[in-house]
Amino acid sequence: MLITALLNALQIVSADEGALRQAAHSHCLDAQWKLNQAITADVACDGKRDVVLLGSTEHEVIILVFRSGLKKKPDAILFQTSRVAKETVSLTTESLDVDDTDFKQMLGETPEGFRRSKICKGLRLSDGQKDALHVYWHRKRHELSAWSL
C-alpha cells in the first residue's frame, strides 16, 4: 500500500512536465526551475497534497507551493542567493514531528506558527555549504515560513 501511494505521488509530479513549467513560469518568468526536484506532499497541513517547485533567479532561490492546482496562484517563499547557493541547492521533504524540547535545545524556542505534525511535511532547502533552511506552514499567518540554526 505504501509503494502504491508513493507511485501515485510520483505520477502527479512526472505526469506533465509542461504543465509544471507553465505554472512556474506564470509566477516568475525569468527563473530557472528544477522541475526534476518537484515534490508532492501536504505542506499546507490541510489534508491535501500540494505540488512544490524549486527555482532560482540571479539573486533569489524560490520555493512555490501550489495548494489548489497548478492554475491557481501558488504560495511562495524567497531566499537571497547570498544565503543559499542556487547552483547546488536541493529541496527535500522532512518530518514536522519535532518536539518542543528539541527546538529549545537547538534554537532556544519553537519557531512562531510552527505546529508539530505526524502527517504534514516540512521542506528542507540545502546547498551543502551552509546550515539548511527548514520551511514549514505558519499556522497563524497561513503562509510559508522558515527557520535555520
Q: Give the model confidence (pLDDT) of 3-16 as tens digits.
A: 444 444 444 445 48
Of 26, 31, 54, 33, nearest to 123 (Cα)? 54
Q: What percent of the chain shows pLDDT beyond 70?
A: 90
* Cα torsion angle, 40, 66, 131, 14, sign: positive
Average pLDDT over residues 48-66: 96
Tell me the CA distances in angstroms from 52 to 20, 26, 103, 146, one per residue in order: 10, 15, 25, 15
Q: What is the pTM of this model?
A: 0.86
Among 115, 129, 149, which residue's Cα sits nearest to residue 44?
A: 115
> pLDDT digit string (tens) for 96-127?
998 888 888 889 888 999 999 999 999 999 99
CA distance 78 to 59: 10
